[in-house]
Structure 1
Amino acid sequence: MRILFATAPGYGLTLPLIPMMWAARTAGHEVLLATTSEMTEAGARAGLAVYDVFPARDVWGDLMRQVMDKTADHGDEPEEYRLARQSMGPFGLFTASMTAGTIEAGRVFRADLVAYSSDHAPGMLTAAALGVPGLEIGNRVSWSTRDVDWSQRADRGEDEVTAFMRTKLGIGDRQARVIARIDPRAPSMGGLGNDEQAADARDGVPWWPMSYVPYNGGAVVPPWALQPADRPRIAVTLGTVVPVMTGVSNLRVVIEALGAMEVDVVLAAGTTDLTELGELPDNVSSVGYLPLSTFLPGCAAIVHHGGSGTTAAPLYYGIPQLVLPSFADNPMSAQRVVDRGVGLSHDPATVDVDTVRELVDRLLSERSFADAAAEVSAEMAAQPSPAIVLARAVAALN
């Protein structure tokens, strides 16, 4: 079978689906990842065949410029781009720029199935255009398509940009048969658990549970990451988007707070310019872009921004977390963390050094957070693996 995976050009939107792609490859299926911008390289490094659906421009860069400068003169632009700029969030831009190329990828690949992340309308439209089944895969473990997704919007689940692209590309009102919607959340985080009878009340599409498998890139593992720490090790990251949007002011507060504690800090800031922070405290090690999976198992806690993948990884490893939510889905992730008791949260706009110390100290000293995190980790491990879910989807086609 030939399976086209379609994802948006963001780390948190693509990387969660890569374990499912691996499952498809190891089962003997042909796999092609349809994406663009930085995710083409990320997919290739993961050992996948990748099709760049919009090589003419950097879609992710366009998004960042759109967000940072709302007064920019966009000149003579296609109608779908004007509509996308008026839509909420980044997904309108992805629909406008990526749909045609994703359909072309599926056509030349001769896809039998289109699997796509739940918020990625180009995947849904591609399945409809090609007349092949679709598989919608949730890419968050703190919330899912039951909370927020394209299928809950008006007009049969589609926004103005999606409707425009249907007309422009000649798709019309064709709808793909969606085999299932995959829910990667643990039961106590709102997921299905092992209830395989759940169905969407809106259209009867079944929901299947799946265990979350963290993937955030490969790396040569530094020896210290595999060795027990002499004192609590704290991971700190703001992801790939927050530093671009808001700078490093929150990071400065966190580093100053942790620098005076009896802990070892692993600062994973990617390519963020840290010169504003000055000289780092002796107990802080800046490791650049080191995948969380390489060192998180040895950590006692993590401080982060609330990105979907960054929230999911500590849940998988049973690590308590402090979330300083920035924007988009970050506050929702933070609320789920607090409600389940696996961590704490604070508004980054008002957080200060003393508060960070107090909250991190609570994560380290109050056993309830580690116990709750371990419970969620066990729940996730008990759910069907991506390989089992993929096999079920293939069987449903026959």
Structure 2
Amino acid sequence: MNTRARTSAKKILFSTHPAHGHVHPILPLAREARDAGHDVVVATGPDLAAQVAERGFTVWPIGPTFARCRELRLEADPDIDTVAPEQQMARDISALFGSASAVRAEELVARTVAWAPDLVVHGPVEFAAPIAARRAGVPHVVHGVAATPPARLRGIVESVMRKVFAPWNVPGLVEDVLSGAYLDICPAGLRQAGSETLFRHGVPLRPSYGDPGVSALDIDIENLPFNDTVYLTLGTVFHDAPALFRTCLSGLAELPVNIVVSSGPGSDPKRLGPQPSHVVIRDYIPQARLLPHCRLVIQHGGAGTLFGGAAHGLPQLVIPQAADNFLNAAALRASGAGLALLPHEVTADSIRIAAGQLLRDPEFTVAAKRLQAEIHAMPTPESTVTTLLNGRTPGVRA
């Protein structure tokens, strides 16, 4: 429902890879556009369509589901899970995101041309959307979903885009995407100082504080026994790790803290066994509702949780699992707002020691509050919608 006066309404298409970590970061901008009276459509995989629709958006369920994307990934690159995380991240650009974009392109192009939006906003690895925008003759802009992509990825990104774009006769589109506007949701304190970036026109945009969900938090935080609450999550992709959850819970057991665990969408919280009264486990928790009650976040290094925790000024312990998790862990540690444990370093004792240090030593909270202040100073989704539609954002490409 529109909450503001409808003035000069535009049609805006938001298109994203079908994963929670790619959908949720774009929804604040989509929500602001919708609430300003614009006609907003979100295009993503059919498995996430209902979740997006619950949040009040018109949805186009297009392309493969998340599960099918994972199958396409292994079909394209059977050895991808055997390589080092840094190599895996680069190879995923082709095997995961390139493959999925190629599959969704035909339907997305057809529906976009028929609808004729005024603007297309798309994720950085949603390579079908620039084709759709070019064929519809409308501007497009890239919306970041994670840390600012480094320039060293340019070769693989260019190669994948050329491959996906090849059947569509869209000359110059690769350069248009890379030299166009990139809505960068990464605060400066979590970027590599002075490093060159993949996209040449970075436009800062305040990141999401986390998914608010569609209903109130179903956890009575106030009646848990301890003053401090720790949020433990392995995200929406790498959560099938009950042994790691148990190790973390064992390490935290000796600390006087409440523990709220997100065990992962669709998982059975009971698989982690019986827990004492100060431990609460849910399969999915809208973190924007939980984080204001927390003192510490323990997580896998996903950008959504990283930025959400930073936006609430919370120190974090990162246990990276794959892909960009390791880069995010390093960035957090360099900022002073947290610690990281590599997979081979994780034991119940190391979790207990690191969590205790983060809760006890004030310098981590001071650094986390610096990140929070940086995020609060970034342009809001509301102001960004206005500048995008008024043509005042440099690098928005038609």
TM-score higher than 0.5 here? yes
Whether the aligned pair in 2 keeps the contact of 1:248 and 1:274 (CA below 8 Å) is no
Deviations 1:163-208, CA, capped at 9 Å, x for gaps? 233232343545658762111122222299xxxxx9x9988x5321
User: Structure 1 residues 309 and 85, CA, compared in 2 at 3 Å: closer, same or farther?
Assistant: closer
Tell me by how many angstroms 1:39 deviates: 2.3
Tell me by how many angstroms 1:146 deviates: 4.1
User: Structure 1 residues 298 and 117, CA, compared in 2 at 3 Å: closer, same or farther?
Assistant: same
2:25 to 16, 28, 46: 16
- Quick check: 129-138 or 223-232, which moved more? 223-232
Tell me the residue number matched to 2:353.
358
Deviations 1:225-254, CA, capped at 9 Å, x for gaps? 46797421111111121124xx32211100
Dislocated runs of 4+, deviation >6 Å: 68-72, 84-87, 200-203, 226-229
Tell me the residue number matched to 2:252.
258
In the alignment of these two chains, the number of paired residues is: 368
Tell me by how many angstroms 1:214 deviates: 2.3
Tell me the residue number matched to 2:366.
371
1:327 to 319, 322, 328: 322
Tell me by how many angstroms 1:115 deviates: 0.7
Task: State the SS of the aligned residue for 2:141.
Answer: strand
CA distance in structure 1 between the partners assigned to 2:25 and 2:391 by the alignment: 23
Matched, 1:220 2:220: no
1:130 to 131, 136, 140: 136
2:155 to 135, 153, 156: 153
Whether the aligned pair in 2 keeps the contact of 1:343 and 1:369 (CA below 8 Å) is yes
User: Structure 1 residues 191 and 390, CA, compared in 2 at 3 Å: closer, same or farther?
Assistant: farther
Tell me the residue number matched to 2:237.
241
The one-letter code matched in structure 2 to 1:159 is S
- Quick check: 302-311 or 167-176, which moved more? 167-176
CA distance in structure 2 between the partners assigned to 1:222 and 1:104 by the alignment: 42
User: Structure 1 residues 315 and 85, CA, compared in 2 at 3 Å: closer, same or farther?
Assistant: closer
Tell me the residue number matched to 1:108.
114
Tell me by how many angstroms 1:37 deviates: 3.1
Tell me the residue number matched to 2:396.
none
- Quick check: 91-100 or 300-309, which moved more? 91-100
The one-letter code matched in structure 2 to 1:30 is D
Matched, 1:30 2:39: yes
Whether the aligned pair in 2 keeps the contact of 1:316 and 1:380 (CA below 8 Å) is yes
Tell me by how many angstroms 1:344 deviates: 0.6
Task: State the SS of the aligned residue for 1:90.
Answer: helix
CA distance in structure 1 between the partners assigned to 2:150 and 2:91 by the alignment: 25
Whether the aligned pair in 1 keeps the contact of 2:262 and 2:285 (CA below 8 Å) is yes
Matched, 1:299 2:294: yes
CA distance in structure 2 between the partners assigned to 1:237 and 1:382 by the alignment: 27
User: Structure 1 residues 24 and 92, CA, compared in 2 at 3 Å: closer, same or farther?
Assistant: same
Matched, 1:318 2:327: no
Tell me the residue number matched to 1:144.
148
Matched, 1:163 2:159: no
Task: State the SS of the aligned residue for 2:358.
Answer: helix
Matched, 1:48 2:57: yes
Whether the aligned pair in 2 keeps the contact of 1:53 and 1:105 (CA below 8 Å) is no
CA distance in structure 2 between the partners assigned to 1:264 and 1:118 by the alignment: 37
The one-letter code matched in structure 1 to 2:249 is I
1:93 to 99, 105, 110: 99
Tell me the residue number matched to 1:80.
none
Task: State the SS of the aligned residue for 1:242.
Answer: coil
CA distance in structure 1 between the partners assigned to 2:141 and 2:77 by the alignment: 38
The one-letter code matched in structure 2 to 1:21 is A
Deviations 1:304-354, CA, capped at 9 Å, x for gaps? 111111111100101111100000111111111100011110012331000
Tell me the residue number matched to 1:347.
342
Deviations 1:105-151, CA, capped at 9 Å, x for gaps? 211221121111122211222222222111111112xx2134576xx
Whether the aligned pair in 1 keeps the contact of 2:73 and 2:92 (CA below 8 Å) is no
CA distance in structure 1 between the partners assigned to 2:110 and 2:318 by the alignment: 40
The one-letter code matched in structure 2 to 1:144 is T
Whether the aligned pair in 1 keeps the contact of 2:28 and 2:208 (CA below 8 Å) is yes
How is 1:165-244 mapped onto 2 (pairs within 5 angstroms)? 165-174=164-173, 180-190=181-191, 206-216=201-211, 217-222=213-218, 224-225=220-221, 230-244=226-240
CA distance in structure 2 between the partners assigned to 1:396 and 1:96 by the alignment: 30
CA distance in structure 2 between the partners assigned to 1:366 and 1:87 by the alignment: 39
Mark the runs of 5 or more structure 2 residues left unpaired by the alignment.
1-9, 79-89, 394-398
Whether the aligned pair in 2 keeps the contact of 1:5 and 1:116 (CA below 8 Å) is yes
The one-letter code matched in structure 2 to 1:265 is I
Tell me the residue number matched to 1:195.
none
Mark the runs of 5 or more structure 1 residues left unpaired by the alignment.
73-83, 193-197
Whether the aligned pair in 2 keeps the contact of 1:35 and 1:53 (CA below 8 Å) is yes
The one-letter code matched in structure 2 to 1:104 is A
Same amino acid, percent of matched pairs: 24
Deviations 1:87-117, CA, capped at 9 Å, x for gaps? 6452122212122222122112211211111
Tell me by how many angstroms 1:40 deviates: 1.2
Q: TM-score, normalised by structure 1?
A: 0.83
